[in-house]
Structure 1
Amino acid sequence: MSLTAGSEQRSLRVLTSTSEHSRVAAHAGGKGANLHALTAAGFRVPDWSVIGLDVFAEFSRDSGLDERLADLFGDGWQDRAGEVAAEAAGLIATAHLGDGVAAAVAAAYREAGGGLVAVRSSGAEEDGAEHSFAGQFDSFLNVRGLDQVTEHVRRCWASAFSERSLHYRAQRGLPAGTGGVAVVLQRMVAAERSGVLFTADPVSGRTDRQVVSSVYGLGEALVSGAVDADTVVLDAADGTTVSAVIGDKRERYGAGAGAGCEVRPVSDEDRGVLSLSPGDLGRLHELGTRVAGHYGVPQDIEWAIADGELWVLQSRPVTALGATADYAAAPAGEERLWDNSNIIESFSGIVSPLTYSFAADTYAKVYESYARALGVGGEQLREVREWTPHLLGYFHGRVYYNLHHWYRMVRLAPLYPLNRRVLEKSLGVAESISDESADALHPFTPRPGVRGRVSRLVRTAVFARRFLTIRRTMETFHRDFYRAYAVFDGVDYEALPGDETYRRFRRLQRDLIEKWGPMQALDATILLSVGMLALLTRRWLPDAPEWFTWAAAAPGADVESAEPARALIALAARARVDDAVRSLLENTPDDAAHQALRDGGHTGFLSDVDAYIAAYGYRSLDELKLEVPDFRQDPTGLFTLLRDALPGAANRPDGDRGGEADAYLDAHLRGPRRRVYELVRRKARAALTDRERLRFCRTRAFGSVKGMLRALGRDLAGAGALDDRDDVFMLRLEEIGGAYEGTVAHTELRELAAMRRRQLTADAALTAPPRFTTRGAPYWSGNLELAGWTSGPAARSGARELRGTPCCPGVVEGLAVVTDAPRAVDGGILVAYRTDPGWVTALPSAAALIIERGSPLTHVAVVAREMGIPTVVQVDNATTEIRTGARLRVDGALGTVTVLDDPAPDDAAPDPGGRP
């Protein structure tokens, strides 16, 4: 908001849950930043606002407090810390507040709901992973009225210079006398019970335990030690109670209310005097699991129960685990950032070692070739080769982007600051890295001086040429691709000797995959053109809805990606009007349907099915996972989709989002600006259309690879190197090559495959975090445990409104269908953790689409826009919080998903999907 102080206009924005992450990180302090993160993640947090560090800085500067504090903290202040603290408090209590700062305090009080509030200090370093500052700053409960709030805000500011705070800083070598604190205002809840939940035992350090302490009423009694708390130790995996300490409640709550303080397993008798019921403990266990998983490190959570609702008041890292902690020392070494955004569309859930190693090898070859295509050579190319083999990571059977390397890749092209932002949007990355971290990432060591400038100019000129000629380059590539593809497709590899199949596989890598590199200029073209379009939208259409840029850039309705969905709809329509065919499809197992059509003499329809398989059989579920047969190898999945499509599309009018974008532009942008906008828009739409065509090529190439590798599995099993042909997928690409090149003994392969199959079975039981950081060797030093890899399903928090990225506008109410596989939902709202291109066949029956992991540029999102299906992507915890049968309201323009009603317990179907 804009506030006036004297003749100067200043912006002293009060920070709230809708404030930008970067501003919160800079000005909200530790408590404020944690509240922002908790609220954004969908946890139930009482209304709050933050009077930021910039407000204190304004107050300090305008009142002359800066100079007086500087004098106080001159040489030798440590010898009289008590006097300095008292004088600082007096100065802050009496300094002129100023109209602007007073207005900011009033606005913060309104944002927190007015009435009864807590006023809490929020230091810049507070509640961090390194320093907790626990108990060093002041907090005040049950404050009412603006005058009282203002007085207590001053007292919080003064607590930054209290004697205890000064001593704390001195002991840890931290500077004193500057900065101040932010102040959190938070609505008070009428707590019936409250307390603290540690998601790791703070005494023993055991991460397989949770510790709950609780009291009746407000939690200050627990913190101050005025009341003996009940303390319950829970098993972190399943929430069962391990032991309990029953606090002596007689002094405050009446004789006989407690049962002493002995530690013992909980009995029915104990439960009668615990302040928490088994249901309360279950909810707290779920909350702790979810919060720890969100932050990736053990948490100290303040909570309260009021009117039956569980509230999160605050969360901070557990900074002082005991000496016997599982991970006593923080991991050291190079930081790596892992994220499964977007990549999960191609490689979902558990992925075989062969699929991962083939994908990693392909990415390495393609992006090294891309660097060469931009003129990178010599020592710089050698440096590029150091990181291109590691663009992907593999953890417990899941594939992740090694995100820092993708920033390096984007920096090969010009306009890095713009392109990296668009990269994050296109990948669906939920959180940007800092500008400082981004600036430190380079594809190779920058050359200094004139030589470096010349190198950058040459690379920019080469990129500009490729940018301007990308359509012509794409046409040449498609012509050459299909000419080469014809050599590999349609070959009966089962009839060839294994070494001949392997030789052809190596040739495919050379002729198809290694020539893909220059085509990555298309991705750079998309980043640049969509980034420019977004920039023009912000500047010339500042009030445009968030979905607008994606609709304006979307390919036209004839986008190639939608062809399989349209063809399947047409096939289902033909079956629907033929009673015999329809009855056969509805009553025959999917794996027997193809033969049943043949046996039943339905040759016309069978011919249509075979034509579909010939044209689109490579476009199937999990089409890039080599271990999953496509429809040409096994048409069972096609008949599953066809049967689901028989009822027909949802009763929903088709939408034209490109038309909506045109209408908005006609109303708000004209003249030269419109012409410039349309020029950039055409470039973005053309690039996205070409990308969909390129994805079809990629899918076809992977289809040929599937046939080759399955034939190699047959050959290795026939030679006795493997027990079963499908065991080939448990090997890595280099091991298969080694078997044919003489660098790996074939006698090693059987046991290796068996071991990996057992490991993947165990890995499937883990809940995988979508994003995490490691240091040093990723599997060592507790990296993955601290990152939130846990066993069992993720816990629900009970959030009623979730937020994501608007993708396609429209408001829909309907019943949720949570699934991990595409299927007809009969006008329901399809909720998925991730999608892949094979999901487009399920879209016609969906009233709306919610995707937890994805971006506005994922394949299904592009097609959903063209089909007019309201869509929200990047909805954190959608498959955790939403149950099949829940009634939802989806607003595709605002990016909100509201749970209107939960399914009745007897009616709720088990969710067939969820997190990997």
Structure 2
Amino acid sequence: MGVDDLQVLGPWTDPATFAALAGGKARGLYTLHNGGFRVPDWAVLGTDVFDRFLIETDTDVDLAALVVKVTSSDDLATALAAGAELRAAIVAAPLPPTVLELIGDAYDRLGVSAIAVRSSALVEDGLGHSYAGQFDSFLNVNGVDAVAGRVRDCWASAFSDRSIRYAFAHGQPRAAAIAVVLQRLIAARASGVMFTANPITGATDELVVSAVYGLGEGLVSGAVDADSVVVDKSTGTVLETTVGDKDRTYAPVGEQGYAVLEVEQQQRERTVLADAELAELVEWGRKLEADIGAPQDIEWAIDVDGLWLLQSRPITTAVGEGAARGAVLRGAGEVVADDEQRIWDNSNIIESFSGITSPLTYTTAADIYGRVYHGYAKSLRVPAEQLRQTDRWTPVLLGYFHGRVYYNLLHWYRMVGIAPGYPLNRKVLEAALGVDEPLPDEIAKTLRPYTFRTPLARLRSRGVTTVIYVRRVFGIDDMVERFMAEFYRVYDEYDALDYSTLTGEQAYAAYRKVDRDLVERWGSLLVLDAILLTCTGLMYLLTKLLLPKAPEWFLYAVVGPGADVESAEPARAMTELAQFVRTDPELVSLINSTPPEQIYDALGDHAELRGRVEAYIDRYGYRSLDELKLETPDLREDPASLFIMLRSAIGRVGEAAQHSRGAEADEYLDANLRGFRRRIYERLRGKVNRSAAHRERLRFCRTRAFGMVKRMIRVMGRDLVARGVIDEFGDVFSLTVQELRGCYEGADTAGLRELVAARKAQRARDAELVAPARFVTTGATFGRAELARQGWVPVADTPAATVGTVLPGTPSASGLVEGNAVVVDEPRDVAGGILVAYRTDPGWVAALPSASALVIERGSPLTHVAIVARELGVPTVVQVKDLTKKIRPGMRIRVDGTNGTVTVLSEGDLRNET
């Protein structure tokens, strides 16, 4: 039945007419109904009804002209003013008889009293932008007069301030006409939303269900804390359940509206959905997504008759840009065949990025790794075609799982294959990375960085690369010196800036220039790592040939960057600072008894110490614990960590320093190797030592560069708070580097607040998981259930090691020490104890003077801290499996740095044999 040429729309309407007039929300209902899903009865007043209202309404205001003004003005203020005038006119104007009659017809079709009246604009629920929450909907509307009033309110909402601002902010069309859906109201026991892809991570193999008691108004408005369940889409396995504080429920009451009722305590503590209800909902979600062919945002409700789907729209944040965001939170964003495996190993990457690492740090590091290794291949004259092939794997050398950074291990073997000597270099790579499980030869041999059309092309390219590589081997000293001169030119320029006066735009411009300049130059210097791998491998072979009976500690003691390596300077400077403090009992008391965060302010009466501290910060202020993590403040921003390390160093001043094994290595050489063979050995030894020293210098430059970038990002973070893009300064680290750049390059920032909040909540959940040292994924779509099977499980109690337990590891610095274990996740208050850590980073160097020995669960003898520990004579064992799970704080242990063991002692079995 229709009125003139107007008609009520519904499932009976032909598709073309429906698509033209019904609007986005109604399109979703049409799809659900025709797909066989259980949907409450509904009918639609199309946009042609609104158009008839504009034409036939008796009013002094030209409604159609105002619509044009709202939708066509390029000036936001003009559009908002016209919108306000139009809304007032719509609400005040009487409805024409033809329109009233059609509303009555639509209402009668539903055959019930209580209905929901929902907006359905043409621009709503599109693939790009949903306009979610921009237009009005009303629940529990009873009677035709009330329905007519709510229809008019829905029309007016099309021209609300929020919808106009939304359209301007997103560069989208403003609503020119709006349809209205009338739908039977479900007296819901429970209701909520379901996303068939994770809108937080972008993971397409997960569904996310939110549920509340009663009507969904409490969930939509945010007034009720919903239950949230994450489900593996393929298996239906529940991956994560968060029980909300459901203290209120929304229920229909009276002729219109709803009431807010209190929920009994017993109901609050259990989940809204029973297992069977959740399973049915998940099954419907899977089917709907498969039918439509895209992830869906679905509203649902459950009443005494069972489950109903109320509406469905495309997810606008889980695909496209959301999928890229998902790569930030899981995996590497790499395109992988369904049967293709990837091996993830944290090895000594945790020296740089320990524990939970921010999205900004991870994406910055992944971006830099990709570009510098591309530059490395280019510097060795890899042909253009093969260089393009490297672009498939250099950007994904790292992966990101539950907030932790991993090596995408197979690609690192590919990277080693760029330079000559792959069979030898990959063995040294495994030692350098500290991997527990070397890759089988049958796999390692297949990992080529690129392929060639013909064998001749391959020979030609490898010949050119080899010649250039050999030249670099002999010219590396000059290369490093040229780089250092250029680096410090750039560094001194930007370190001298007054960052307190920079605007966000100025800081971003400086950041982009530094990023381009340094990354471009750094690529060619990565040949040093290849040279070090080659020379270390040759050193190992030569030692086995000429000194077959050499002890295990010998190879690590005979090579090294030298005691005067630049990166050990902070540790020596800290020792000197501690020696000065020890001369004054009052200063010792101040450092030992005052909270570290208060000491700097308390130095006002101690001018000389304050001057020395400021000199230390002036020289080493770019350093910090976890110094490559952008979110960690440096000493200039937070000097508290300086005093933590100073307190520990004070306790060690005056004790006998551990002697370095380097002298013993020379004695062993004098006794066992002479003449021509000794000269050959020393020639190669000198090359390895110089290369190691160069590498430490470059790592020190990297630390300085990250310190400089930290200062720039902190300016940008505070600027984004002032602009209202994020809520607080620390939120900048929850952005990816691409999102941060977008904030200064014109990208849409409207959804960043919500994205940051979701990532922070996810970070808290990730922190509760054990991170396995190594695991394997197959294909690109692996879910949390698969990860859990490989060790990503909540932290569980692990029995402590018993007396007499011997934990084997890798010897790194010789010596025998017994003492109390100090298990820490950052360098603090070791005070002569044995420092036990899961991992370390270069920032831990300043804590070494306070430790009698060092034991690290992860890492390798070639990591930064292990190298410096050898130079300082601190006995060290690395790669001790499950160390921090089995050794408890205060346990008495023996560290044998010569044989690489850690032994648990009884309370009375303590002696010192340093």
Per the normalisation by structure 1, the TM-score is: 0.61
Contact residue 651 and residue 827 of structure 1 kept, 8 A: no
The answer to whether the 8 Å contact 1:652/1:847 transfers is no
Residue in structure 1 matching 2:574, options 560, 564, 568:
568
1:759 aligns with 2:772: no
Q: Note if 1:651 corresponds to 2:655.
A: yes
- Indicate the SS of the match to 1:697: helix
2:711 is aligned with 1:701:
no
Alignment of 1:811 onto 2:830: no
2:557 is the alignment partner of 1:554 = no
CA contact (8 A) 1:650 1:827 kept: no
Amino acid corresponding to residue 702 of structure 1 in structure 2: F
Matches within 5 A, 1:86-235: none
* CA contact 2:434–2:858 (8 Å) conserved in 1: yes
User: Which 5+ residue runs of structure 2 have no aligned equivalent?
Assistant: 1-234, 240-336, 910-914
SS in 2 for 1:493: coil
For residues 650 and 848 of structure 1, do their structure 2 counterparts lie closer, same or farther at Cα, with a shift above 3 Å needed?
farther
| In the alignment, structure 1 residue 722 sits paired with structure 2 residue 723 | no
3-state SS of the aligned residue for 1:741? coil
Change (3 A) 1:653 1:704: closer
1:339 aligns with one of 345, 351, 370: 345
Distance in structure 2 (CA, Å) of the matches to 1:583 and 1:712: 40
**Which of 625, 631, 650 pairs up with 2:629?**
625
Alignment-mate amino acid for residue 551 of structure 2: P
Q: Aligned letter for 2:878? A: V
Once the two structures are superposed, the pairs formed by residues 40-55 of structure 1 within 5 Å of their partners are none
- How far is the alpha carbon of 1:778 from its aligned partner? 5.6
Q: Is residue 886 from structure 1 mapped to residue 888 from structure 2 by the alignment?
A: no
Aligned partners of 1:618 and 1:630 also within 8 Å: yes
Aligned equivalent of 1:780: 783
Tell me which amino acid in the other structure corresponds to 2:894: R
Q: In the alignment, is residue 854 of structure 1 matched against residue 859 of structure 2?
A: yes
Matches within 5 A, 1:380-419: 380-419=386-425
Deviations 1:743-799 (A, max 9, x none): x31111111111101100110000000111111126438431221101024623746
Is the partner of 2:436 in helix, strand or coil? coil
Deviation at 1:900, TM superposition (A): 2.1
Displacement of 1:380 in angstroms is: 0.5
Q: Is the aligned partner of 1:513 residue 2:519?
A: yes
Count of matched residue pairs: 577
| Per-residue deviation, 1:685 | 0.5
Partner of 1:820: 825
> How far off is 1:649 after superposition?
3.8
- Per the TM alignment, residue 347 of structure 1 is displaced from its structure 2 partner at its CA by 0.5
For residues 584 and 907 of structure 2, the distance between their equivalents in structure 1, rounded to whole angstroms, comes to 39
Q: Check the 8 A contact 1:622/1:838 in 2, yes or no.
A: yes
Q: Which residue of 2 aligns with 1:682?
A: 686
For the structure 1 residues 596 and 827, does the alpha-carbon distance in structure 2 shift closer, same or farther, using more than 3 Å as the test? closer
Structure 1 pair 533/337, CA: closer, same or farther in 2 (3 Å)? same
TM-superposed CA distance for 1:869, in Å, is 1.6
1:667 partnered with 2:671: yes
Cα 1:673–1:778 change in 2 (3 A) is: farther
CA-CA distance at 1:500 after TM superposition: 1.9
Larger Rg: 2
Q: Take 1:870 and 1:443, find their aligned partners in 2: how far apart are those partners?
A: 39
1:638 equivalent in structure 2: 642
The 5-angstrom pairing of residues 835-846 of structure 1 reads 835-846=840-851
Q: Which digits, 9 at most, give the CA deviation of each residue in 1:253-273, with x for residues without a partner?
A: xxxxxxxxxxxxxxxxxxxxx
Tell me the distance in 2 between the aligned counterparts of 1:479 and 1:611. Answer: 24
Deviations 1:584-627 (A, max 9, x none): 222332222222112x2x22221111110011112221111101
The one-character-per-residue Cα deviations of 1:229-272 (angstroms, maximum 9, x if unpaired) are xxxxxxxxxxxxxxxxxxxxxxxxxxxxxxxxxxxxxxxxxxxx
Partner deviation per Cα, 1:721-743 (whole Å, 9 max, x = no partner): 1001210000000011112112x
Q: CA deviation at 1:390?
A: 0.3
**Structure 2 residue corresponding to 1:350, chosen from 333, 356, 367:** 356
Return closer, same or farther for 1:649/1:843 CA change in 2, 3 Å cut-off.
farther
- 1:354-388 Cα shifts (integer Å, max 9, x gaps): 00001111111111110111101311011111111
Task: Confirm or deny that 1:790 pairs with 2:793.
Answer: yes
State the 1:845 CA deviation: 2.5
Q: 5+ unaligned residues in a row in structure 1: which ranges?
A: 1-203, 209-330, 905-916
Contact 1:591-1:635 within 8 A present in 2 as well: yes
Instruction: Please report how far the alpha carbon of residue 561 of structure 1 lies from its aligned counterpart in structure 2 after TM superposition.
Output: 1.6
Deviations 1:466-487 (A, max 9, x none): 1111111000000000001112
Distance 1:527 1:778 in 2: 35
Distance (Å, rounded) in 2 between the aligned partners of 1:617 and 1:514: 26
Tell me what 1:257 maps to.
none
Counterpart in 2 of 1:478?
Answer: 484
Counterpart residue type for residue 528 of structure 1: T
Whether 2:598 is the aligned partner of 1:592: answer yes
Tell me the equivalent position of 1:112.
none
| Corresponding position: 1:868 with 2:873 | yes
Q: What does residue 540 of structure 1 align with? A: 546
5 Å-filtered alignment, 1:218-297, equals none
In structure 2, give the amino acid aligned to 1:718. A
State the secondary structure of the residue aligned to 1:747: coil
Task: Determine the C-alpha separation between the residues in 1 that align with 2:839 and 2:893.
Answer: 19
Q: In 2 relative to 1, CA 778–421 (structure 1 residues): closer, same or farther, beyond 3 Å?
A: farther
After superposition, the Cα gap between the structure-2 partners of 1:846 and 1:513, relative to the gap in structure 1 and judged at 3 Å, is same
Deviations 1:213-241 (A, max 9, x none): xxxxxxxxxxxxxxxxxxxxxxxxxxxxx
The alpha-carbon distance between structure 1 residues 386 and 709, as it changes in their structure 2 partners (threshold 3 A), is same
Q: What whole-Å deviation, never above 9, does each CA across 1:447-494 have from its counterpart, x for those lacking one?
A: 532221111010011111111111110000000000011121132334
Measure the CA separation in 2 of the matches of 1:753 and 1:581.
44
Distance in structure 2 (CA, Å) of the matches to 1:446 and 1:893: 47
Computed over aligned residues only, the root mean square deviation of the Cα atoms, in angstroms, reads 2.1
Counterpart of 1:859 in structure 2: which amino acid?
Answer: H
Q: Residue 433 in 1 paired to residue 439 in 2? A: yes
Looking at structure 1, the residues matched to 613 and 380 of structure 2 have their Cα atoms a distance apart, in angstroms, of: 44
Q: In the TM superposition, what is the alpha-carbon distance from 1:903 to its structure 2 partner? A: 10
Distance of 2:697 and 2:536 partners within structure 1: 18
Q: Any idea what SS the aligned residue of 1:495 has?
A: coil
Question: In the alignment, is the contact (CA less than 8 A) between 1:564 and 1:616 conserved in 2?
Answer: yes
Amino acid at match of 2:794: S
Whichever residue aligns with residue 817 of structure 2, its letter is V
For the Cα contact (< 8 Å) 1:573–1:648, is it kept in 2?
A: no
1:479-494 counterparts in 2 under 5 A? 479-494=485-500
2-structure distance, mates of 1:759, 1:439:
39
CA contact (8 A) 2:631 2:733 kept: yes
Aligned residue in 2 for 1:462: 468
The one-letter code of the counterpart of 1:808 is A
Whichever residue aligns with residue 703 of structure 2, its letter is: T
Could you tell me how far 1:902 is from its partner in structure 2?
A: 6.8
Distance change >3 Å, CA 653–CA 631, structure 1 → 2: closer
What secondary structure does 1:414 align onto? coil
Aligned residues of 1:887 and 1:903 also touching (Cα < 8 A)? no
Inter-partner Cα distance in structure 1 for 2:654 and 2:888: 21
Matches of 2:846 and 2:570 in 1, distance apart? 7
Q: 1:825 to 1:591 in 2, by over 3 A?
A: closer
| Residue number in structure 2 paired with 1:160 | none
Alignment match, 1:148? none
- Taking a change above 3 Å as real, the CA distance of residues 649 and 575 of structure 1, as seen in their structure-2 partners, is closer
1:654 Cα deviation after fit:
2.8
Query: Could you say which residue in structure 1 is the equivalent of 2:738?
Result: 734
